[in-house]
């Protein structure tokens, strides 16, 4: 997702006589009028500047809201979003070509790897899902859950969506 120019703030810093300065002989001066499109400019996306979207029913069961946090910034391949699941809401089964990290920021949720038991995840937990691991995640039955999802894209794709998690599978807690 490309950010509108008004949503991106470019920050340029010139470091002189600093212990973190470049090695002797190396010179680089940041220009104070650097463009936000400069690959060496720091970009700040202001809280609330990204449109929150409703999780589409082909990828989620129940009420889910997705707030994009950041998109791919070359040469990085990572994308991030804050995802809020109402009680009982969940993803469909899916895989990520390069894996995914979830950071639970609020509430209580569940995650399940294919052919394994459901596990509870809580605020403060960090979950690593290896590449190509079939899984689902979402809120517990009676509690909402929010997590930050960080995923790397491979050839422009971060996820392969599969079949829905049935109510019977979800209730196997």
The pLDDT assigned to 37 comes to 57
Read off the pLDDT of each residue in 12-39 and give the average, rounded to a whole number: 43
Beta strands in 49-118 (DSSP E): 53-54, 60-61, 64-70, 78-85, 90-91, 94-95, 100-113
Read off the pLDDT of each residue in 121-143 and give the average, rounded to a whole number: 98
**Domains along the chain with CATH numbers:** 1-46 (no CATH), 53-170 (2.60.120.10)
The pLDDT assigned to 48 comes to 84
pTM above 0.85, yes or no: no
Read off the pLDDT of each residue in 127-152 and give the average, rounded to a whole number: 98
Nearest to 98 by CA among 79, 117, 125: 79
Could you tell me if 109 and 120 are in contact, meaning their C-beta atoms sit under 8 angstroms apart? yes
Residue 21, pLDDT above cutoff 60: no
64-115 confidence digits (pLDDT tens): 999 999 988 888 899 999 999 999 999 999 999 999 999 999 999 999 999 9
Which residues neighbour 79 within 8 Å (Cβ) at sequence distance 6 or greater? 68, 70, 71, 72, 150, 151, 152, 153, 158
Least confident of 27-41, 79-93, 135-149: 27-41
């Amino acid at each position: 997702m490309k950010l509108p120019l008004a949503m991106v703030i470019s920050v340029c810093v010139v470091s002189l006589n600093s212990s973190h300065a470049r090695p002797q002989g190396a010179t680089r001066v940041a220009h104070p009028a650097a463009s936000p499109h400069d690959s060496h400019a720091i970009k700040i996306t202001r809280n609330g500047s990204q449109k929150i979207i409703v999780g589409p029913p082909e990828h989620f069961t129940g009420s889910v809201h997705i707030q994009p946090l950041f998109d791919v910034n070359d040469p990085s391949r990572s994308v991030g979003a804050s995802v809020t699941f109402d009680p009982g809401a969940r993803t469909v089964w899916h895989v990520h070509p390069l894996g995914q990290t979830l950071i639970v920021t609020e509430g209580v949720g569940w995650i399940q790897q294919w052919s394994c038991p459901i596990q509870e995840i809580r605020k403060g937990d960090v979950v690593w899902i290896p590449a190509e691991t079939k899984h689902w995640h979402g809120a517990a039955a009676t509690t909402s859950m929010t997590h930050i999802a960080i995923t790397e894209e491979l050839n422009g794709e971060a996820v392969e969506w599969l079949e829905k998690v049935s109510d019977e599978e979800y209730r196997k807690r």
